[in-house]
Amino acid sequence: MINSFTNKNSTNLKSEKIDWNLIQIEMKNKLGLDIYESWLKKIMFVEEFQNYILLAVPTRFIRDWITSRYLDQILQSVKSYKREIIRIEFKIDTESFKNQKKEDNFTSQDTKENISFIKDSYLQYNRIDSNKTFENFITGSSNRLAYEASLKVSENISNYNPLYVYGGVGMGKTHLLNSIGFELKKTNKVMFISAERFMYQFVKSIKANEMVKFKEYFRNTDVLLIDDIQFMNGKEAMQEEFFHTFNALLEKGSKIIISADRAPNKLSRIQERIKSRFSGGLVVDIQRPEYDLRKKIVSKKIEELNQLYPDQIKISKEIEDFISNEITTSIREIVGAINRAVSFSRIYNKIPNLAEIKVVLKDLLNLNENKVTIDLIQTLVCKFFKISKNEMLSSRRSRYLVRPRQTAIYLTKILTSKSLPEIGREFSNRDHTTIIHSVKTIEKLKEKDPQIVENINKLKNQILYNTSENEI
């Protein structure tokens, strides 16, 4: 057990109340100024409890974004100051942030009048991270083609337009798009935005009757980079606007670079004409990192951390080799494993042994053993209930569709490490409250209906152990 790892040096850890300003400074150094200004600066410290802290953010969207992308890093930073903290909770506090904004506006009334609609609404989200460049993108056979293609685009020697980069979660797609933007913004007007943010601004512009300005801004850029295009699935109105924006940019010779988690022909609920446009350029993929690449990433990351925390990082060669061998799913998980190992070393002021690291990384190791994906769960559940995936992902609420949908959501929650917002996005962008309701519904039905229990067990066996259809 981890509690048994404590030694006499652990008394050196800080036990006083957490200084949130110090945490913010560390996060700014760790993740970069752009990410900090865009997302983490918006976090307010509320209260510290026995084993968790409560933070406030202004909107549900910001909460979901932070929890899905930066929660682990924030918790690691907090635990480095106070290891008793084991979780972070958020509350939505719109009023406090409104009051803060009013104060800021009052102190800068003269400059406020000069802020345009475009600057206020878009540029604050158009942040290029200076820490994610071609120089620190580590290459191997699994990502070299994507890297070379991206480099050629950034050097203006590629005739392919658009460039479409796809691969699994945490493989480095966003890093490549950021690198392209970092190079091209030196001489071009660059727009780097996620599909989620594009959708948000699209809806916001409609409500504010500002669609003309929306169109002008996006269609007058020299380079458009859109991350995670799969989040446009099922959004017909937004796809329509994107299609015309796409064509307008191509006609004026602007570059378009897109990332997604799957190939163009595998995108679900995306207009065929849009998928055709994507396929008309250069399509490159990033595969799972091979051993040599994983080894490079581990060594490089530890080197960076040693520079950041000199004389504090104590990770053995055995641990480095173990992480390189066992964490194979994605680059993001490799980096996460290293951060956990390093945090353990810093918290307990010791070199962790292999047994301790196996405990610290238990969830990652189990995930890799199972190799369970949401797509696999959806496919097998649909096959079991004899419905199509399009039916299950639709907005229809027929009883014969609702139960399979709830079952798939429940199995995704218990068999994967995906967050509620992530699960919601894979089920046609459903709200996280819908995900919670589905999980609770199946749990209650299991208590009353033995057939539900049997169905769940059959599906779990098929998902985890690849049992045949006849066996279920």
Cis peptide bond upstream of 450, omega within 30: no
Residue 114 is predicted with a pLDDT of 32
Q: What does the pLDDT look like over 320-360, one tens digit per residue?
A: 999 998 888 888 889 888 988 888 888 888 888 888 888 88
Tokens (6 digits) for 62:
């910001």
Residue 382 is predicted with a pLDDT of 93
Residues 389 and 261 in one domain: no
Find the CATH number of the domain harbouring 210: 3.40.50.300
Q: What are phi and psi of 233, to 5 degrees?
A: -60, 135
Question: Which pLDDT band, with edges at 50, 70 and 90, does 16 fall under?
Answer: low
Question: Which pLDDT band, with edges at 50, 70 and 90, does 134 fall under?
Answer: very high
Q: Interior CA angle at 9 toward 8 and 13, to 5°? A: 120
Q: Which of 346, 370, 394 is the last residue of a domain?
A: 370
Residues 269 and 134 in one domain: yes
* Amino acid (1-letter code) at residue 142: S
Residue 466 is predicted with a pLDDT of 57
The whole domain housing 240 covers: 124-286
Residue 105 is predicted with a pLDDT of 46
| 104 belongs to a structural domain | no
Q: What does the pLDDT look like over 245-273, one tens digit per residue?
A: 999 999 989 999 999 999 999 888 899 99
Q: What does the pLDDT look like over 224-239, one tens digit per residue?
A: 999 999 988 888 888 9
- Give the chain's length: 472
Residues 176 and 196 in one domain: yes
Average pLDDT over residues 173-185: 93
Residues 205 and 271 in one domain: yes
| 119 belongs to a structural domain | no
Residues 137 and 234 in one domain: yes
Residue 144 has pLDDT above 90, yes or no: yes
Q: What does the pLDDT look like over 397-413, one tens digit per residue?
A: 888 899 999 999 999 98
Find the CATH number of the domain harbouring 43: 3.30.300.180
Tokens (6 digits) for 119:
């600057």
Instruction: Report the C-alpha gap between 227 and 238 in whole angstroms.
Output: 15
Name the domain count of the chain.
Answer: 4
Average pLDDT over residues 416-427: 86
Residue 278 is predicted with a pLDDT of 94
Residue 99 is predicted with a pLDDT of 64
Find the CATH number of the domain harbouring 460: 1.10.1750.10
| 157 belongs to a structural domain | yes
Q: Interior CA angle at 288 toward 462 and 232, to 5°? A: 80
| 107 belongs to a structural domain | no
Buried b (16+ CB within 10 A) or exposed e, 192-210: bbbbbbbbebbeebeeeeb
First-to-last C-alpha distance (Å) of the chain:
37
| 73 belongs to a structural domain | yes
Q: Which residues pair with 256 in a beta bridge?
A: 224
- Tell me how far CA of residue 82 lies from CA of 17, 26, 51, 109, 459, in angstroms: 8, 14, 9, 40, 41
Least confident of 30-34, 157-161, 202-206, 374-378: 30-34
| 113 belongs to a structural domain | no
Question: Helices 236-251 and 272-279 meet at what angle, rounded to 10?
Answer: 40
Residue 101 is predicted with a pLDDT of 52
Residue 468 is predicted with a pLDDT of 46
Residues 392 and 447 in one domain: yes
pLDDT > 70 fraction of the chain, expressed in percent and rounded: 85
Q: Residues 6 or more apart from 335 whose CB is under 8 A from it?
A: 297, 301
Question: Which pLDDT band, with edges at 50, 70 and 90, does 14 fall under?
Answer: very low
Residue 170 has pLDDT above 90, yes or no: no
Residue 470 has pLDDT above 50, yes or no: no
Instruction: Report the C-alpha gap between 174 and 13 in whole angstroms.
Output: 36
Q: Which of 370, 397, 418 is the last residue of a domain?
A: 370
Instruction: Report the C-alpha gap between 357 and 323 in whole angstroms.
Output: 9
| 110 belongs to a structural domain | no
Residue 107 has pLDDT above 60, yes or no: no
User: Greater confidence, 462 or 293?
Assistant: 293
Q: What does the pLDDT look like over 39-78, one tens digit per residue?
A: 888 888 888 887 788 898 888 878 878 877 788 888 888 8
Residues 77 and 192 in one domain: no
Q: Interior CA angle at 70 toward 90 and 179, to 5°? A: 145
Radius of gyration of the chain (CA): 24
Tokens (6 digits) for 224:
């458009």
Range among 79-88, 382-391, 445-454 with highest mean pLDDT value: 382-391
Tokens 């190799």 locate to 371
Residue 450 is predicted with a pLDDT of 85
Residues 253 and 363 in one domain: no
**CB of 108 closer than 8 Å to CB of 260:** no
Residues 162 and 26 in one domain: no
Least confident of 34-43, 90-99, 143-152, 217-226: 90-99
Residue 242 is predicted with a pLDDT of 92
Residues 393 and 433 in one domain: yes
Residue 198 is predicted with a pLDDT of 86
Tokens (6 digits) for 192:
């780097």
Q: Residues 6 or more apart from 287 whose CB is under 8 A from it?
A: 142, 143, 167, 171
* Mean pLDDT taken over the chain: 81
Residues 131 and 280 in one domain: yes
Residues 158 and 49 in one domain: no
**Of 311, 310, 242, 317, which Cα lies nearest the Cα of 275?**
242
Q: Which of 370, 392, 425 is the last residue of a domain?
A: 370
Find the CATH number of the domain harbouring 351: 1.10.8.60
Question: Which pLDDT band, with edges at 50, 70 and 90, does 83 fall under?
Answer: confident
Residue 406 is predicted with a pLDDT of 93
pTM of the shown model? 0.57
Could you write out the three-class secondary structure of the chain? Answer: CHHHHCCHHHHHCCCCCCCHHHHHHHHHHHHCHHHHHHCHHHCEEEEECCCEEEEEECCHHHHHHHHHHCHHHHHHHHHHHCCCCCEEEEEECHHHHHHHHHHHHHHCHHHHCCCCHHHHHCHHHCCCCCCCCCCCCCCCCCCHHHHHHHHHHHCCCCCCCCEEEEECCCCCHHHHHHHHHHHHCCCCCEEEEEHHHHHHHHHHHHHCCCHHHHHHHHHCCCEEEEECHHHHCCCHHHHHHHHHHHHHHHHCCCEEEEEECCCHHHCCCCCHHHHHHHHCCEEEEECCCCHHHHHHHHHHHHHHHHHHCCCCCCCCHHHHHHHHHHCCCCHHHHHHHHHHHHHHHHHHCCCCCHHHHHHHCHHHHHHHHHCCCHHHHHHHHHHHHCCCHHHHHCCCCCHHHHHHHHHHHHHHHHHCCCCHHHHHHHCCCCCHHHHHHHHHHHHHHHHHCHHHHHHHHHHHHHHHHCCCHHHC
